[in-house]
Structure 1
């Protein structure tokens, strides 16, 4: 920020009062500042406050206040920046909350109007709908399901198909801006104008800037021509070459990549591209990434739409975290390229793929290649690549890796030599790099095993990064090929650019932002790259936990700290589609209710930061965990494997010690104990609960009175229809929920197992402790689980088939983590959910008996089933049973054990149901069965569609009863 005073950061009260007078609501709560102190980079910078503008007028007002007070302004979209572009010390403007509308799609003009908070995947989807699939929006970074248009403009995002479509700057027609002086300007492909021609002040500012920028470009024509725009992925620095005469003074493209340091983006007209009629993925296996890179020039001769790559460590982690079948169709090798070919018809594309495979085979580096024609294979392979950043952060082999030098780019023909030299540099510093990225564009993402917690490790980080910058420049490359410079690389720009070009960068920034308040610390006059590191300064102390969270990456590192720092901010929990997490965020759209938001606050707890104090007693942490449904989906869906359900249980156990708990923790948390009593007098209990007195009892227990309580079963009712063979081939574990509320399911499960060729011995003398776990009463949970392990450890290796998915998940995952004994490990290894076990029988050749199976079914896969046993089992069994059409209600039902029964959570529970389950029920008629293996899910069906009935898979397949009837 040359020739400008450094921005000041004043007390939040002064800022909030000024913003309130201007009509802008902002939040300076410690918990909110903690959530926004991070993005997906290595950096942590605490803001003064966070605002969520609803309109351009709000932005103008907020900018005016910050200008007067000298408060820095940080524009933020999805918060997925890996270079620290989206954190700063002043007022954060989060555009993703409200300014997220897609406007007019003009297919004839080839443009679409957008607000800056529109998520890229949403934009592509809406464009394709509006044009009947003829057009789409092209840039598709791996974070496209949560990254926003404003963020893509900020750092000139590219994506998997950049070989074909280039960078965001190639798809910008116009950008609407608010400058730090309050002018509203529109940058176009040929200049700069006032957004409103009647706004005299903005008209004058546009003219002044146009004159100044034109003069700046003319005075430095030679340097800008020689040093900028040399390779396809030269993203580092400002894109001032677009102001040159040969580019017709394209200010819109020049603004892209300025990382919020020139002006605040408040809208844009983005260009559309035709969507190819046919596409085919070709997967290529190599011995290593250097061999893969050597073949890139030959692959580019076939005009691919994408050439992406990943290495074996990422694939191994994907399989470790999500199961062997999470990666389908991968050829032999230790590094892989995913090549997307497209064209007018499938036959020509397939023939092109054959020629490519033949050519690469002749060249001799290819280990194995194959066409991935199956949509499921294609989706699983792309997901490996798209989740690369998260998967590589916590590898199956142990340890952790971090960004910092994750974004360099060279010309594609130089990539192999650059990677070979980079591996030597890594070895010289005793570092390991996990590699993936855009091989076809010469842009390599790499996460490196820096030790950013220690002074020595940070010194290695600095030395290595500087030498890596020198290396990539020797190869004619760019420090950044997609993520921007931010706090990670801005300090290193003088290695890449001459003093003249650096002076031009500084002057261009001063012209746009003379008051110097926009995103300080990046681009010009940057903070040192090892300042504000999030892992620095975390005090070492012992955090005693009940859960065995696994070993820390090094001696002396605390497992609880290591666990909560697993979140690296990639933000998949903020996605609207794909997977199951995070149901509460999808309902509220509030960062505090995302897995990431919760993890960031917990990271502040272990840091002992002034924003979040009191450790295990932190009220801010309790607040962000309150709407966590403990669905466990994040443990699988989060690429970094963050298990917020476990962290919530652990935190609650400490927070509520020697404190009065919520009433529901006693009424629902102790439910298995109450069921022992109610089973003996179930008739009387059910009669009372059907009266007004029942509502009074519910309210006294902290339960909502807007949800009907389930019918309590008689003691022993579950035994009806059970065939118990003590020497059976499997153990059928009849859990507390099934015994107490769904006794008919036990008999159905027994009969289906017999039909599948299994004899079953029954066990119903233990409890998994789930209700105590979810409410954070871990001492009791450990006792219950220890008893369950003793009861189930019968000296055999027979599968233990559990009727209720949540109980199966508790016995598989929570048991060995809370009871770290060999006995617990033995039992956990044997546990299967009913659906997973039956799916194995189907895979082995068993065919369910033909019966009155409905043609259509709504499938509500329990979140714990999804997380611990995988999402495919029920669908596979339904297909084998002859169900022709399955409507997936992918996502949490909203009840999630005790959550949806608690009075204070009922509204959010019903909002969560609107994510997927409620629409699926409305979209299907009474002829469609509703499959809900989870007891909680079935209760939500009762609430949403009382005329329909949630069936367990056992009931649907039951050959000896009519329980599979739909109504």
Structure 2
């Protein structure tokens, strides 16, 4: 570590001199995070740099050339082939160089910086009825620079082809720091007045023309043979008959020839109408057999997947997460488009009839509902993550996830490929772009042992020979990277391999740009990331991690880098990343650093690591990742475990005591609520807050007296036999006992009379602050009381406490009693959804509801959503603030987290609250938030305007006067 740091000092000093203000990170907290992408590989960089302009890139490339340090360009870091990791300096374009510079709707072009996220571009061009054609499944977080690097395609490549088809011009920096522009006519200096750059570009052009002229025959016969032939360099674009298109030739070079800083891309018109046809099959080979017929109908997409992905989605996100699929064990999605919806639907129905007549389908249907279509596409788009960790806990890996053949050859290739898997005793999860002949597969390789790695090498060699025998390509869109570069000699002649090497040498004679890929590739089994716990980390966790074979180490290994946590929209994960935009604040960044901690290489002090502590600091413990992450990373649990181990035997942060022990202190405060509240509202309250590490920018919620709960429940008694237990949690008891009374009345009205259970605690605050030993004691007492032979449902009004009882209690205690209690737990929404009498009708409800669903309820109770319940009960419009409220239990009350808490609130909740005034007299709008944290944040944001959040129980209370949320 010391030698590396010393060697970096001249480089960092040079960058400080030539690019003032350039952000350069060299510590383990950054280099450990950027050592990974979405592949099997781990290559720690020496530094991570965040350029803000092309001039910054020039400065970095020149400084690295002087120092002999390699440079790797990186976008969203979602490469599955190891294209986005490197041993020198990693340039992260996604952080700052992410501007859309120009959109020309007449010319149908856009000029964008390399770090622009695809969905951001598509959102901007949609205003003009245009879009960017290629659409990888990672569209919510992949960058245009990354797509250019590996010539990405996506689901609709049947219609739109590869990224290279849509590139007008590339703005690049060469290996010696010259800015140039590559377009359809060749290469030119970006500044025609820079005579040195003009001479350098002219020399490059002449050398490349000479190389192409000397190798016309192999280029014409070996390249561009199938639609998805991405492997190698696409030198056929430089042939005389193709006009020396340097822009398209550089697409797919994986940053190994030049650094792309910006691009001018072509746009396509958005379809006026489209529909989705889902087809079921007994087998993926049967599905592939139907592809040639489907292609005759000119679809926009033909996507395939097998049963393992669907089963995993349903297990992780609930049985209703996948609807609309016909019976079968494999499926095709076929999308058709046109100018008229009726005509498109009719074509889809006609195609369905044709395919049924051919006899291979087990069923099919036209999916007309836009919501259902979005849900189905999400299953396909999450395929890489869902296939990584399946229902049975088995792990699978990329490495041979991207082969492509001609579509008419697909069925034969799949038939032979499955025989090859069987002969090696391997299992593969299949999905992919069947209409383009491109198959993605994750395989249960053993990458942890020498024998397993040797077996993997043998399989990959035979797989390469197999796809070549079918006229195909090793890579169909992910690029060769570190996974397939070594196998290019199986696919191409020695002369072609030498031509690739010569092309790179012309651009990068010193081999500093993304070394180890395509040319002079690293061994495909070098630098593998899979690890076993090191001696510096005795992994004896308190959480049981029952779904992970290797306990904590296996749990953090769930992250395979697909990066869905880096999305800016959709789902709830990851609020801190959405607020800061920093990789280290994403679920993926934290998981990768935890993997480094387990490995014990860069992060060498195990549980005491300050780098890991700092990376976890802004995690809100919202648990959304446990649901939204395709592989089920649960960062809230990992954080709780880490904090427990990190502070074991040491003084903790002050807020861990003041907020972590809140159930106890609030219970004591209830004996003298009035004087305590008066004290806390004055100067003494602010002093106590500062002493406890609590922000003074929020009002401390008023404590309720112990008599308040008894009064609230007194009027809720019905005299009927109780069918359920109402668990009165610490937050409800201490701060809003009226919710317990309302919940009891509503449940009785719905045919679920309850008896209240008071004085128990789920242990949540001790879990979120990492005080797990105390949490276990509290939980054990609660479980002992509840597990008394009673099998009645346990209904919890506070969603976070319900989630703790449902998941944290059994995973922390690990007992049968805890699991029995957890199985009985329902949220208030869940009880009304699953247990209410069929003829129950609530009182009249408002027309409009602004809803803030608690993150823990969203993550843990997937089958019962407040939005769906409100819709079924007759609310016409539910405007849900999809995302975390930002308060998140203790997080938003902690002094150092207040600003982040408010930034998270600004993402979804605050705009909804600000919009309430605009509704005015259009209809009464009520704000509903079952979570105490959510309601407290809403009061903080809008309480001065008279807006108060109601618990759903208060909204449905048959004895209430229907209080509204608007002023």
Give 2:255's aligned residue: 260
How far the C-alpha of 1:12 sits from its partner, in A, is 2.3
| Cα contact 1:861–1:871 (8 A) shared by 2 | no
Matched residue SS, 1:36: helix
Matched residue SS, 1:705: coil
How far the C-alpha of 1:847 sits from its partner, in A, is 5.1
Q: Deviations over 1:798-849 (max 9, x none)?
A: 221100000000000111101111111111011011112223357x745543
Give 1:750's aligned residue: 744
How far the C-alpha of 1:763 sits from its partner, in A, is 1.0
| Cα contact 2:579–2:904 (8 A) shared by 1 | yes
How far the C-alpha of 1:135 sits from its partner, in A, is 1.0
Q: 1:105 aligns with which of 93, 103, 106?
A: 103
Give 2:931's aligned residue: 934
How far the C-alpha of 1:206 sits from its partner, in A, is 2.2
Between the aligned partners of 1:872 and 1:210, the Cα distance in structure 2 is: 62
Give 1:17's aligned residue: 13
Matched residue SS, 1:914: helix
Between the aligned partners of 2:266 and 2:109, the Cα distance in structure 1 is: 4
Cα 1:476–1:538, aligned 2, differ >3 Å: closer, same or farther?
A: farther
Between the aligned partners of 1:719 and 1:364, the Cα distance in structure 2 is: 68
More off after superposition, 8-17 vs 823-832:
8-17
Between the aligned partners of 1:372 and 1:9, the Cα distance in structure 2 is: 57
| Cα contact 1:958–1:964 (8 A) shared by 2 | no
Q: 1:892 aligns with which of 863, 875, 884?
A: 884
Between the aligned partners of 2:170 and 2:644, the Cα distance in structure 1 is: 50
Between the aligned partners of 1:705 and 1:542, the Cα distance in structure 2 is: 40
> For 1:282-293, what aligned pairs fall within 5 Å after superposition?
282-293=277-288
Between the aligned partners of 2:665 and 2:547, the Cα distance in structure 1 is: 37
Between the aligned partners of 1:706 and 1:850, the Cα distance in structure 2 is: 38
Q: Which runs of 5+ in 1 are unaligned?
A: 1-7
Give 2:73's aligned residue: 75
How far the C-alpha of 1:858 sits from its partner, in A, is 1.3
Between the aligned partners of 2:188 and 2:841, the Cα distance in structure 1 is: 69
Q: 2:865 aligns with which of 845, 867, 873?
A: 873
| Cα contact 1:719–1:746 (8 A) shared by 2 | no
Give 2:244's aligned residue: 249
Give 1:696's aligned residue: 687
Give 2:290's aligned residue: 295
Q: 2:58 aligns with which of 57, 60, 75?
A: 60
Give 2:267's aligned residue: 272
| Cα contact 2:749–2:840 (8 A) shared by 1 | no
More off after superposition, 353-362 vs 189-198:
189-198
Q: 2:609 aligns with which of 601, 606, 618?
A: 618
> For 1:153-302, what aligned pairs fall within 5 Å after superposition?
153-302=148-297
Between the aligned partners of 2:248 and 2:574, the Cα distance in structure 1 is: 35
| Cα contact 2:858–2:865 (8 A) shared by 1 | no
1:730 and 2:721 aligned: no
Give 1:849's aligned residue: 842
Between the aligned partners of 1:87 and 1:162, the Cα distance in structure 2 is: 27
Between the aligned partners of 2:374 and 2:465, the Cα distance in structure 1 is: 38
Give 1:957's aligned residue: 956
Q: 1:763 aligns with which of 757, 773, 777?
A: 757
Between the aligned partners of 2:170 and 2:821, the Cα distance in structure 1 is: 60
Give 2:122's aligned residue: 124
More off after superposition, 754-763 vs 411-420:
754-763
Q: Deviations over 1:351-407 (max 9, x none)?
A: 111111111111111001011111222111111110011111110022100000000
TM-score for the superposition, normalised by structure 1: 0.97
Give 2:379's aligned residue: 384
| Cα contact 1:9–1:90 (8 A) shared by 2 | no
Give 1:3's aligned residue: none
More off after superposition, 21-30 vs 651-660:
21-30
More off after superposition, 939-948 vs 404-413:
939-948
> For 1:519-918, what aligned pairs fall within 5 Å after superposition?
519-536=514-531, 539=534, 542-550=538-546, 552-553=548-549, 558-609=550-601, 611-722=602-713, 723-724=716-717, 727-840=721-834, 845-846=838-839, 848-851=841-844, 853-870=845-862, 873-918=865-910
> For 1:84-95, what aligned pairs fall within 5 Å after superposition?
84-95=82-93
Q: Deviations over 1:535-580 (max 9, x none)?
A: 1575477511111112654xxxx31111111100000000001110
How far the C-alpha of 1:320 sits from its partner, in A, is 0.6
1:44 and 2:42 aligned: yes
Cα 1:191–1:571, aligned 2, differ >3 Å: closer, same or farther?
A: same
Cα 1:81–1:387, aligned 2, differ >3 Å: closer, same or farther?
A: same
| Cα contact 2:533–2:553 (8 A) shared by 1 | no
Between the aligned partners of 1:10 and 1:648, the Cα distance in structure 2 is: 33
Between the aligned partners of 2:686 and 2:396, the Cα distance in structure 1 is: 53
Give 1:5's aligned residue: none
| Cα contact 2:180–2:188 (8 A) shared by 1 | yes
Between the aligned partners of 2:539 and 2:583, the Cα distance in structure 1 is: 26
| Cα contact 2:532–2:598 (8 A) shared by 1 | no
| Cα contact 2:532–2:553 (8 A) shared by 1 | no
How far the C-alpha of 1:516 sits from its partner, in A, is 1.9
Matched residue SS, 1:482: coil
Give 1:342's aligned residue: 337
Q: Deviations over 1:220-265 (max 9, x none)?
A: 1111110000000000000000001121111111010000011101
How far the C-alpha of 1:872 sits from its partner, in A, is 5.8
Between the aligned partners of 2:755 and 2:5, the Cα distance in structure 1 is: 68
Give 1:4's aligned residue: none
Matched residue SS, 2:671: coil
Between the aligned partners of 1:508 and 1:482, the Cα distance in structure 2 is: 21
Between the aligned partners of 2:452 and 2:817, the Cα distance in structure 1 is: 40
Q: Deviations over 1:850-904 (max 9, x none)?
A: 42x3221211111001000128621122223332222221111111000000001
Between the aligned partners of 1:962 and 1:694, the Cα distance in structure 2 is: 35
Cα 1:647–1:250, aligned 2, differ >3 Å: closer, same or farther?
A: same
Matched residue SS, 1:146: coil
Between the aligned partners of 2:759 and 2:700, the Cα distance in structure 1 is: 25
Between the aligned partners of 2:533 and 2:233, the Cα distance in structure 1 is: 35
Q: 2:453 aligns with which of 458, 462, 469?
A: 458
Between the aligned partners of 1:871 and 1:69, the Cα distance in structure 2 is: 57
Between the aligned partners of 1:229 and 1:526, the Cα distance in structure 2 is: 22
TM-score for the superposition, normalised by structure 2: 0.97
Matched residue SS, 1:679: helix
More off after superposition, 84-93 vs 864-873:
864-873
| Equivalent pairs, count | 950
Matched residue SS, 1:17: helix
Between the aligned partners of 1:709 and 1:666, the Cα distance in structure 2 is: 16
> For 1:425-574, what aligned pairs fall within 5 Å after superposition?
425-536=420-531, 539=534, 542-550=538-546, 552-553=548-549, 558-574=550-566
Give 2:134's aligned residue: 139
Between the aligned partners of 1:720 and 1:418, the Cα distance in structure 2 is: 72
Give 1:355's aligned residue: 350
